[in-house]
Amino acid sequence: MFLCAFLKFSQMKAGRTMSQSGKFCSAGFITSTLFGDITFLQIKEEVLMDFTLSKEHLLFRQMVREFVENEIKPIMQDIDEEERFPKEVWEKLGPTGLLGIQYPKKYGGQGGDYLAYVMAIEEISKYCASVTSGIAAHSSLCCWPIYQFGTEEQKMRFLPELLSGKAIGAMGLTEPGAGSDSAAQQTKAYLDGDHYVVNGRKCFITNAGEAKYYTTVVMTDKSKGNKGMSILVIPADAPGFTIGKHEKKMGIRASATADLIFDNCIVPKENLIGKEGDGFKMIMQTLDIGRIGVGAVGLGIAEGALEETLKYVSQRKQFGKTIGSFQNTQFEIADMKTRVDSAQLIIYRAACTKDAGLPFGLYACMGKYYGATVGSDITRRCVQLFGGYGYMREYHVERMMRDAKIVEIYEGTSEIQKMVIAGHLKVGK
């Protein structure tokens, strides 16, 4: 219950989740913020950070680290080897508040800000990206559309159970023929009296088979293209809903990944989020939110690999010296540290921009793209510094390198992020 107790002090206001002593400045207007000692200055809708984290954020980070040390680190190698979803970890995530950091207390959340959520993802990813992949799918992809676009009745019906950890959530978006092109959805739903009938298949779904609720994208009017997409919350026990084959993956092997199969699946009409046809707009906004956290997954992996490598090069001797004393190693370490810190600044900026209530889509894409790039680059270079040992499963950098690759692919590939970034900059227009 450490997080619950820690966050008791915060008195959050809707849409404002910042520091108690920081300031947000806009056109001569100053207001106190509510979470963290971060100063925001708005200039043409941009956020400039005071890089000093609040005592509350620092304490929070230490608490997350202790949770990881006690609950995740002892089993992280085993669950990867066994390709086992760590139910014992998830049973503790809810009671500690780590599944509802950025959501209002009214719905069972902790009333924290998005920066705190990102910091939690970062810290856990240093040791186990399988766990954070599941948290991101649960918190950002499943819960956020319900919170942002659902009715009050829907929020009260789903969120307390999800944010407390009594239920796990997932999102059904990707299909065999609809990956980067989300508009190519084939899963259809039509209204039949008091329920929707759903037919189709989703693939590569994180938390599949473990989740109780699936925030699922369906086509309610295929003829309208993007404007015919809608979102349904589909419970795991819905008639006609089954879980397909579980995937054998290169990395994040302790996360659950499988197909969702809908064969005349019956879903109550009151499980429709928003209006029919609003699905595409809602999904795009949800992905913007989620990308910040996914970038933090790549960042955390890179930080964890670098920490392991610093220990290794300080101990490993060749030619009578530690390899850390060689200039080549020092140059590599210096460059990697600079890249990791650069990624952290971009991702924290995205989170703080969101917390300030300003447009954050560009920064979210930049954070996701660079966090993913740094994760893959740093882990590859760390394995190289370990030499042959880095290729062995006994050493964590091997697993980290495998885990890092997925960050460049899921929730929008790096190529998609670059397209979106260029779009924000109106390149070629």
Of 256, 259, 428, 291, which is closest to residue 366 (Cα–Cα)?
Answer: 291
Structural tokens at position 80: 């990867």
Q: What digits encode the pLDDT tens for the residues 309-352? A: 999 999 999 999 999 999 999 999 999 999 999 999 999 999 99
Query: What is the rounded CA–CA span in Å between residue 23 and residue 19?
Result: 8
CB-based contact 104:93 (threshold 8 Å):
no
Q: Where in the chain is the domain with CATH 2.40.110.10?
A: 169-278
* % pLDDT > 90, the chain: 82
From 122, 276, 303, 411, the catalytic residue: 411
Q: What digits encode the pLDDT tens for the residues 1-14? A: 445 544 443 433 33
Structural tokens at position 286: 């949800």
Q: What is the mean pLDDT of the chain?
A: 89
Query: What is the rounded CA–CA span in Å between residue 355 and residue 364?
Result: 12
Q: How confident is the model at residue 46 (pLDDT cuts 50, 70, 90)?
A: low
In angstroms, what CA-CA distances link 241 with 145, 227, 236, 261, 370? Answer: 21, 25, 7, 6, 37
Lowest mean pLDDT among 10-14, 37-41, 381-385, 400-404: 10-14
Q: Where in the chain is the domain with CATH 1.10.540.10?
A: 2-163
In this structure, what are the phi and psi dihedrals at residue 188, rounded to the nearest 5 degrees? -115, 155
Query: What is the rounded CA–CA span in Å between residue 63 and residue 292?
Result: 21
Lowest mean pLDDT among 6-10, 118-122, 205-209, 364-368: 6-10
Q: Is 247 designated active site?
A: no
238 burial level (CB within 10 Å; 0-12, 13-18, 19+):
buried
Only one residue has tokens 């920490």, namely 307
Top-confidence residue, 53 or 187: 187
> Helices 129-136 and 279-315, interaxial angle, to 10°?
160
Q: What digits encode the pLDDT tens for the residues 246-285? A: 999 999 999 999 999 999 999 999 999 999 999 999 999 9
2.40.110.10, 3.30.1490.20, 2.70.98.60, 3.40.228.10: which CATH number matches 169-278?
Answer: 2.40.110.10
> Helices 114-125 and 327-355, interaxial angle, to 10°?
150
CB-based contact 185:192 (threshold 8 Å):
no
End-to-end CA, the chain: 52
In this structure, what are the phi and psi dihedrals at residue 150, rounded to the nearest 5 degrees? -80, 165
Query: What is the rounded CA–CA span in Å between residue 294 and residue 374?
Result: 12
The beta-carbon contacts of 52-58 under 8 Å, at least 24 apart in sequence, are 54/19, 54/20, 54/21, 54/22, 56/6, 56/9, 56/19, 56/20, 57/115, 57/116, 57/119
Query: What is the rounded CA–CA span in Å between residue 30 and residue 48?
Result: 15
Residue 239 is predicted with a pLDDT of: 98
Q: Where in the chain is the domain with CATH 1.20.140.10?
A: 281-424
Residue 174 has pLDDT above 90, yes or no: yes
Q: pTM value?
A: 0.89
Task: Return all residues near 333 (Cβ < 8 A) that are at least 6 apart.
Answer: 306, 309, 310, 313, 324
Q: How confident is the model at residue 179 (pLDDT cuts 50, 70, 90)?
A: confident
Of 64, 72, 90, 50, which is closest to residue 127 (Cα–Cα)?
Answer: 72
Query: What is the rounded CA–CA span in Å between residue 171 and residue 311?
Result: 38
**Architecture of the domain spanning 281-424:** Up-down Bundle (1.20)
Query: What is the rounded CA–CA span in Å between residue 167 and residue 157?
Result: 12
Residue 38 is predicted with a pLDDT of: 41
Structural tokens at position 142: 């499943």
1.10.540.10, 3.40.50.10420, 1.10.3720.10, 3.20.20.70: which CATH number matches 2-163?
Answer: 1.10.540.10
